[in-house]
Amino acid sequence: MVKVPSRPVPSRPVPHRPLTRLLLAVGVTATALVAVPSAAQAAPPAEDDAKSGGRVLTVAVSQSVDSLSPFLAQKLLTTSVHRLAYEYLINYDAKDSKPIPGLATEWKSSPDKLTWTYTIRKDSKWSDGKPATAEDAAWTFNKMLTDPNAATANGSFTANFAKVTASDPQTLVITLKKPQATMTALDVPIVPKHIWEKVGDFSKFNNDQSFPVVGNGPFVITDFKVDQYLKLKPNKTFWRGVPKFDELVFKYYKDGDAAVAALQKGEVSFVPNLTPAQAAALKTQKNVKVNDAPGRRFFALATNPGARAQDGKKFGNGHPALLDPAVRKALFLAVDRATIVDKVFQGHAVEGEGYIPPRFGSYFWKPEGAQKRTYDPVGAEKLLFSAGYRKNAAGKRVGKDGKPLDFRILCHATDPNDKAIGKYLQEWWGALGIGLKVECLDSVSDPWVKGDYDLAFDGWSVNPDPDYVLSIHTCGALPATPKDTGATDNFICDPRFDSLYAQQAAEYDTAKRADLVKQMQSRLYDTGYMNIMAYPNALEAYRTDQIASITTMPEAAGNIYGQDGYWSWWSAVPAGSSDGESGGGSSAGVVIGVVAGVVVVLGLGLFLAKRRRATADDRE
């Protein structure tokens, strides 16, 4: 599901939301001077438009744009676009996701790690020709600190900031209230002060009224039509090198089959989020390559824990029986995850357990021994019976109020996986005497934000640093009042989880922090409000007669769409151009990254996956 908050991110133990995406996973030392790795070397300038004939790279997407404002955007599509349009202080290496220079060329911390100094590069310019400086970065962060409406999307990153200053155009200094492990993972787009200081109400400004949009990333946003397209062109002054395609277009397709058909016809260059059947069909197509890579996200079953706000007021209409741990555990005992992987994902997934996907080995956790919940419908039946939930004469399971247990689950109408798994849940839970209504909607955001649901299909892409996806389950992420939106995923508020979150957020020792993150996952598992069913592979395809080469992340068995950086679209080489080999001929094929049960394990410091929420509304 997707949250499209319209209100500020509340304060929390250690910033929430994009908030502290704890740095360390990379083991940055007190002083880190980073050289640009091979994956980030400057690309040769693109050919002149007249010579190229206007080479366009078109990406089919099913997700709607929530906002083109970096201060409001939370969906994967828009946060990915912002990575293309704006530089972040520090980027992630496409090879292994370690921190590399972005707008900042180097960074260092004071001995107590409360003061961080970033050296801002001299060769970054805004697309209107003005230089990008430390003042722009300081203004961006200070705006988030002083204006709650500018903190909706990324305010958690700055919640622990005490002061941000620019002593000169190339020096940015951030002073912290307490240590913060995400200081080399501040996933905040830096915006041009001279443009944004003119904005009035940040809660209403969507940055979509005047084009081109001024930025300093590899691309410039040039046009946008709601649920039709989003267009970008190369930033000719981008310091790392100009992209080789003359235009990048994200074209909206509500129907996945229509997007695949467009790929087959050559009307689009790339299609993400394929179903196994679509991927299988495309493998035989001429001039099409299928990428099957380890998953960066999880597919989960979320239960409403009783929607509430920070002011203590409850709201929504979640089923009260789901507040009983016995009911939640029984429901999940009756979920056959192996069948989901085999029948729904057809092997293009790994069975789910812990909250962090196995692709990110250092933080990956799975239950062991008695803690582990395996498919056990008989055990689920016994658990419900012993907890006082008996069947009536009609075979319906009844609650302690004597009423039949009938639940609703939010389903994304555009996601075939939701629908398929919904049918299995109706069968499995029906055997327990529990009814389930699968409510498939084009957008699940409204009922989710209002707490008007019992269960929901949930999923998030994870960042190179796990902080964000952990923060969305802290008490501080709850909405301030029932009228607000909050940055919470599922209204979970657990003091023990919050305590562990605060500890990991301030822990610079990578091994100790990894252990704390695993403890958090264990706690989340035990409470049973969020049950991970699978870690789907990234299934995507592109036309080799349009794209000669493109960078995956990580470079070995990685994804193309939704990266923690701009490497894919920035590096893409047009087929038949002097920049790369032609993709013509019958180069149909498949790039294999991982198959069910086979995990690519990366070291601690490596990348965890993407940050944003995923669900047909915004699961990508």
CATH number for position 499: 3.10.105.10
Q: What pLDDT sits at residue 580?
A: 52
Whether residue 501 lies inside any domain: the answer is yes
Whether residue 496 lies inside any domain: the answer is yes
Whether residue 140 lies inside any domain: the answer is no
- 430 alpha carbon, distance to own chain's centre: 33
Whether residue 478 lies inside any domain: the answer is yes
Whether residue 475 lies inside any domain: the answer is yes
Question: Following CA atoms 480, 481, 483, 488 in sequence, which dihedral angle do they give, to the nearest 10 degrees?
Answer: 50
Q: What pLDDT sits at residue 414?
A: 82
Distance CA 542, CA 548 (A): 10
Rounded (to 5) percent helix, strand, coil in the chain: 25, 20, 55
Angle of the 510-527 helix axis to the 495-505 helix axis, nearest 10: 160
Query: What domain count does the chain have?
Result: 1
Distance CA 290, CA 270 (A): 10
Whether residue 423 lies inside any domain: the answer is yes
Whether residue 227 lies inside any domain: the answer is no
Residue 461: phi, psi to the nearest 5?
-85, 145
Q: Which residues contact 364 (CB under 8 A, 6 or more apart)?
A: 354, 356, 357, 358, 601
- 57 burial level (CB within 10 Å; 0-12, 13-18, 19+): buried
One-character DSSP codes across 35-57: PPPGGGSPPPPPPPHHHHT--EE
What is the SS3 assignment for 278?
helix
Single out the residue of 145, 143, 289 nearest to residue 589, CA to CA. 289
Question: What is the residue whose two structure tokens read 């058909």?
Answer: 261
One-character DSSP codes across 323-390: GSHHHHHHHHHT--HHHIIIIISTTSEEE--SSS-TTSTTT-----GGG-----HHHHHHHHHHTT--
Structural domain harbouring 328:
300-536
Could you give the count of Cα atoms lying within 13 Å of 381 in the half-sphere of its Cβ?
11
Single out the residue of 284, 255, 345, 354 nearest to residue 538, CA to CA. 345
- CA torsion through residues 331, 335, 337, 343, sign: negative
CA angle 97, 458, 431 (to 5 degrees): 135
Averaged in consecutive runs of 10 residues, what is the pLDDT profile of the chain (620 residues)? 32 31 32 34 36 80 94 91 97 92 98 97 97 98 96 88 98 97 94 97 94 98 97 97 98 94 98 95 96 91 96 96 97 98 96 92 93 97 97 95 96 91 98 97 92 96 88 92 88 97 93 97 97 96 98 91 94 84 38 37 34 37
Angle of the 377-386 helix axis to the 325-333 helix axis, nearest 10: 160
Q: What pLDDT sits at residue 609?
A: 34
Q: Which helix (H) or strand (E) holds 539?
A: strand 538-543
Whether residue 418 lies inside any domain: the answer is yes
Identify residue 299 by its one-letter amino acid code.
F
- 47 burial level (CB within 10 Å; 0-12, 13-18, 19+): middle
Could you give the strand order of the β-sheet that contains 538-543, starting from the edge strand earlier in sequence?
219-225, 229-234, 247-252, 56-61, 270-271, 538-543, 288-293, 589-592
- C-alpha separations of 206 from 65, 235, 614 in Å: 10, 21, 21
Is the CB of residue 593 less than 8 Å from the CB of residue 349? no
Is the CB of residue 426 less than 8 Å from the CB of residue 329? no
Residue 57, both tokens:
């790279």
